[in-house]
Amino acid sequence: MSEPRFFEVPDPVSLKTIAEWANAELVRGHEDLEVSEVAPLEDAGEGALVFFDNTAYLKQLEATGATACLVGKRHKDKVPEGVAVLVCPDAYRSWAQVLAKLYPEAMSPKDTKHTGISERAVVDPTAVLEENVTVEPGAIIGADVEIGSGTVVRANAVIGRGTKIGRDCVIGANSTVQHSVLGNRVALHPGVCCGQDGFGYAMGQEGHLKVPQIGRVIIQDDVEIGANTTIDRGANRDTMIGEGTKIDNQVQIGHNVIVGRHCVLVSQVGLSGSCTLEDFVAIGGQTGVRGHVTIGMGAQIAAVSVVSEDLAPGGRYGGTPAKPVKQWFREVAAVRKLAERGNGS
């Protein structure tokens, strides 16, 4: 990995400890052997730990100079001689667990050289900040705001009047948070806009009459929201983001939307007003969801799809409009055959 490093190089760690962190079994190599860094397969040298879970990278694995490799049971025999083998149930998940131990500061965007409240921040005298809150230069904390201990408000963020933010949160640089209530350990990356007006108009020939948006945004614990994502406040009820949900960059969430617990929304997803995602829904990038539809618990939606009607729990869907993936694949294949037949005529 090229310099400069933005995270401290970890102290050497034995393979015995790595195996404990990764819930892995050391099947080749001595438990006292140490690793001192992590690296991609193709760049790894002596002292490096790597992982392998995708056969597309088999050539890189065969040529790796790493000291040790995290790998699933079905791929353990692919690891070259001379490389210690740690077999784990899920190599990528184990890799994440080990990285969290080796580079704890990379787990949260809370790392900062500023502590306490900067003299160049503006904090309204009616705001209530618990101990150990950090407010960086240029940030503005409005009237009657409440912020819990351990939270970091980064440079130039704006926290609107009456907003409540829980403990150990991170409000990214240049973010705006208003008309919102955030739980604990919520992370907003730079440029997030949360709690602004929803897009509501009574349209007519005499002009489009703005409908006041009087709801809030409620974000539960352990939610992470990517850069430049926008979450509109509710019109006549709250917009809600459930516990543990992970939202990528540049996602649009309209007013009155309900996102359940532990959902995953990939970049450029758009959720129209008043749609509902039940728990554990996953939606691929650039997919749009029409207003007032419900996506059932555990459903998965392929990228670049359009959800225009309710989808049942647990299914896999894709296409425009979204439909069960088997049906979608059959339709794509049929269209391809028709096109090939036409080219041959």
Token digits of residue 211: 């409908």
Q: Which residues are catalytic?
A: 255
Q: Within 13 Å, how many C-alpha atoms sit on residue 151's CB side?
A: 27
Of 169, 174, 118, nearest to 146 by C-alpha is 169
DSSP-assigned letter for residue 7? S
Instruction: Look up residue 10 and give its DSSP letter.
Output: P
Rg (CA), the chain: 24
Contact, 52 vs 42, CB < 8 A?
no
Looking up tokens 């945004």, which residue turns up? 217
Q: What angle do CA 320, 274, 213 make, to 5 degrees?
A: 135
DSSP 8-state secondary structure symbol assigned to residue 158: E
Q: What whole-number distance in Å separates Cα of residue 139 and Cα of residue 110?
A: 15
Torsion of CA 328, 334, 335, 340, to 10 degrees: 150
